[in-house]
Amino acid sequence: MRVSRRGMILGGSALLAGCSSAAQTVRPAAMPLAAVVEAPVVAAPAIEVVSTEPFVSPPLDPRGVVRKELMERAMAALDIHHARIPNRDRMYLVDFKRHSGEERLYEVDLHAGTVKTLRTSHGRGSDPSHTGFAQSFSNVPESYCSSVGSYVTAGPSWGPAQGPNVLLDGLEYSNDKARDRAIIVHGADYADPDFLAREGKLGRSYGCFSVAHADLPALRERMGEGRLLFAFA
């Protein structure tokens, strides 16, 4: 079969053109760079830490102001007379072992454990020689003695003789005639600092817990009603 020269040339040209096209490198179009988007910063959720430790109230009287035996007996009295003493936020203690010139009336904060101190007198029948120390105690009317034991405050009052005061009810056989004997907390000149500076001791009451006039208003308000007053020697 005869193939024309022209045909061969055209065929060869087509083949070469095809090879040339196949040999060329195909370069993809340049892709645009993606925009950099910063992710918002999300704060970690707060974690609530729940303590598994039981609540421990602060110790009472950490400075040891109150005599240990007096504090222990007063705490026992709170439990013994719990039905008559509804308010247990604070209590009042009197240490009749101490001299009348010393601070021996204690306000004990049962929540914070702190202690505030004041002065108070004792009855003339408990200290007939006026030594400044109470030596005997009685619940007998007209004895003019101080009485020991547990009292409950019966609220602020006012009397024609002593003026503003705090009423007391005795809770034990040693002081259960307190209301009949008019044993109260009141202010007195013989419990003021001037008297103490002059005499070296406080004067004597008829059995009441007399305090300085300046101390009475705040004490009267804070004692209120339904709190323990515990006197001990």
Q: Are the CB atoms for 75 and 211 separated by under 8 Å?
A: no
This prediction has a pTM of: 0.77
Q: Which residues contact 83 (CB under 8 A, 6 or more apart)?
A: none
Q: Is the pLDDT of residue 157 over 70?
A: yes
Q: Which residues pair with 167 in a beta bridge?
A: 184
Average of per-residue pLDDT values in the chain: 86
More confident residue, 183 or 33: 183
Q: What is the pLDDT of residue 172?
A: 98
Q: Which residues pair with 229 in a beta bridge?
A: 92, 151
Q: Is the pLDDT of residue 136 over 90?
A: yes
Q: What is the pLDDT of residue 58?
A: 80
Q: Are the CB atoms for 99 and 133 separated by under 8 Å?
A: yes
Residues 80-84, mean pLDDT to the nearest whole number:
97
Q: What is the pLDDT of residue 10?
A: 38
Lowest model confidence (mean pLDDT) among 16-20, 150-154, 171-175, 228-232:
16-20
The two structure tokens encoding residue 32: 């645009």
- Considering the segment(s) 68-232 as one domain, its CATH architecture is Beta Barrel (2.40)
Q: Are the CB atoms for 149 and 73 separated by under 8 Å?
A: no
Q: Is the pLDDT of residue 31 over 70?
A: no
Which tens digit of pLDDT belongs to each residue from 1-11?
Answer: 444 444 444 34
CA–CA dist 115, 109 (Å, integer): 6
CA–CA dist 134, 127 (Å, integer): 5
The two structure tokens encoding residue 175: 């002081």
Q: What is the pLDDT of residue 135?
A: 97
